[in-house]
Amino acid sequence: MLGFGADAGYDASTRPLAQCDGPQTIEWERALAAGGSTRVVIFALTANFSIAVAKFSAYLWTGSSAMLSEAIHSLVDTSNQALLLYGQKRSERPADARHPFGYARELFFWSFIVAILLFSLGAGVAIYEGVEKLLHPHPVKDAHVNYIVLAIAIVLESASTWAAVAEFNARRGTTPVMEALRTSKDPALFTILAEDIAALIGLFIALAGILAADIGGIPEGDGIASIAIGIVLATVAAFIAIEVKALLIGEAASDDLQAGVRQIVESEVAAHRQIKAVNDIRTMQLGAHDVLVAASLDFDDATLARDIEAATDRMERQIRSAFPDVRKLYIEVQSSDGWQAANGASPSAATVKAPVLAGSGQAAKAATTAPASAKAHATQPARPTLESRPKGRNGRGGKRR
């Protein structure tokens, strides 16, 4: 059995498999991706705080229900962005004895809290205020104040949305927008993008409601706008919750990354013919830029331990080069019969070959000249376990169908 640990960076699934990067380049790429999300969050937080102050002032002046809903929306957005920044900082803590895989998934947790707040405080209060206004309608006074504030808010929110969209487009490349949103592994980015788009929609709904109440003589228009804003917020909150839930409970890496890793392994099979079968390759997204890969491979019994070590080292270098997000890589050498028995299938032989330990460190040094077939055979099939070869961590520990 063989384990590797690796630090990496942003999703580089389109990079050439043969390209080799040093640790400094990988660390720079990872920091670049994380920094892009952080800049977007800080920009949105600053804009939404300013907008919230202006909206609350307009509500206190005019008594507009739609303006109150928008003010609460902006306040909730500001709080959410502060939580995302906190989650990003917490997720960067290095691994320790209690959390050997790091804290990258903590960002997923705080993103889920953001969805709950957006639904309960943002959508709930907006709908309540709208119903209250429908039951007790009253005209909006000094509507021009609302118009001025909404115009300023639209400008600021458009700038924030533009920053989020620019970062999102840089990440998604040629992937369609909805597919990129559904498959994104960075909750900070797609949460800010979804909130900013919802905020712009809400601003235009509030403007329409106030116009209906002020110019159209329909006092209920203000309340209807408030309810509509609440529905928009509830929809966005549900979307964020569904997407983050998949990451929180353990989602596989992107299809491109999975296919690329399998391509590298199969290329090794074709080039050296030492691997008889690829039993399994599994991935898990541990953080926005932190992927775990575990593979079970069946080597030919005549393969020397040093050749197994060389093969696994080649695959490690290629996978880390092509996919810097793969920060934890575990390759288990195990017979197909052993893998089937450990996973509930009946082995094709009475005995199962025990896993062979190999690695670029201390593993297999005492047996580099012995063939794999000389290893002891287990009398009972054992469930496979994955062990890691420790490596340093110098940064973050952090596409849904």
More confident residue, 349 or 219: 219
Residue 331 phi, psi (nearest 5): -120, 120
User: What pLDDT score does 64 carry?
Assistant: 85
How far apart, in whole angstroms, are the C-alpha atoms of residue 327 and residue 377?
32
* pLDDT band (50, 70, 90) for residue 171: confident
The per-residue pLDDT for range 366-382, each reduced to its tens digit, is 333 344 443 333 334 44
The per-residue pLDDT for range 21-68, each reduced to its tens digit, is 444 333 434 444 445 578 888 888 888 899 999 999 998 988 888 888
Is pLDDT at 384 greater than 80 in this prediction? Answer: no
User: What pLDDT score does 144 carry?
Assistant: 87
User: What pLDDT score does 239 carry?
Assistant: 92
CA angle 286, 171, 75 (to 5 degrees): 75
Grouping H, G, I as helix, E, B as strand and the rest as coil, residue 275 is strand
Are the C-beta atoms of 5 and 327 separated by less than 8 Å?
A: yes
Is pLDDT at 400 greater than 80 in this prediction? Answer: no
How far apart, in whole angstroms, are the C-alpha atoms of residue 178 and residue 278?
33
CA angle 36, 39, 42 (to 5 degrees): 150
* pLDDT band (50, 70, 90) for residue 346: very low
Report helix angle 220-249 to 187-214, nearest 10. 170
Domains 25-249 and 255-378 share a fold: no
Are the C-beta atoms of 233 and 73 separated by less than 8 Å?
A: yes
Q: What is the CA radius of gyration of the chain?
A: 27
Mark residue 108 as left, alpha or beta (left: phi above 0; alpha: psi -120 to 50; beta: remaining): alpha
Residue corresponding to tokens 């309540």: 128
User: What pLDDT score does 224 carry?
Assistant: 93
Are the C-beta atoms of 283 and 352 separated by less than 8 Å?
A: no
User: What pLDDT score does 201 carry?
Assistant: 94
How far apart, in whole angstroms, are the C-alpha atoms of residue 129 and residue 125?
6
* pLDDT band (50, 70, 90) for residue 272: confident
The per-residue pLDDT for range 98-146, each reduced to its tens digit, is 999 999 999 999 999 999 998 888 899 899 989 988 998 877 778 888 8
Task: Find, among 117, 129, 134, the residue nearest to 234 by Cα.
Answer: 117
Grouping H, G, I as helix, E, B as strand and the rest as coil, residue 330 is strand
How far apart, in whole angstroms, are the C-alpha atoms of residue 262 and residue 268?
10
The CATH label, of 1.10.150.170, 1.20.1510.10, 1.10.10.10, 3.40.50.2000, for the domain at 25-249 is 1.20.1510.10
The two tokens of residue 189 are 């980015």
Which residues, other chains included, contact 131 with Cβ-Cβ below 8 Å and sequence gap of 6+? Answer: 223, 227
**Average pLDDT, integer, range 239-268:** 92
User: What pLDDT score does 364 carry?
Assistant: 36
**Average pLDDT, integer, range 249-265:** 92
CATH of domain 255-378: 3.30.70.1350
Pairing of strands 290-299, 275-287: antiparallel
CA angle 19, 37, 25 (to 5 degrees): 25
Residue 370 β-bridge partners: none
User: What pLDDT score does 345 carry?
Assistant: 58
Residue corresponding to tokens 């639904």: 119
176-190, 204-218, 339-353: which has the minimum mean pLDDT? 339-353
Residue 277 CB neighbours (<10 A): 15
Per-position b or e across 331-369, b if 16+ CB within 10 A of its CB: bbbbbbbbbbbbeeeebeeeebbbbbbbbeeebbeebee
User: What pLDDT score does 36 carry?
Assistant: 58
**What are the sequence ranges of the domains in the chain?**
25-249, 255-378
**Average pLDDT, integer, range 325-354:** 71
Pairing of strands 326-333, 290-299: parallel
Cα–Cα distances in angstroms (integers) from residue 201 to residues 29, 113, 218, 232, in the given order = 34, 23, 21, 8
User: Model's pTM, two decimal places?
Assistant: 0.68
User: What pLDDT score does 356 carry?
Assistant: 37
Grouping H, G, I as helix, E, B as strand and the rest as coil, residue 72 is helix
The per-residue pLDDT for range 201-237, each reduced to its tens digit, is 999 999 999 899 888 888 889 899 999 999 999 999 9
How far apart, in whole angstroms, are the C-alpha atoms of residue 343 and residue 310?
27
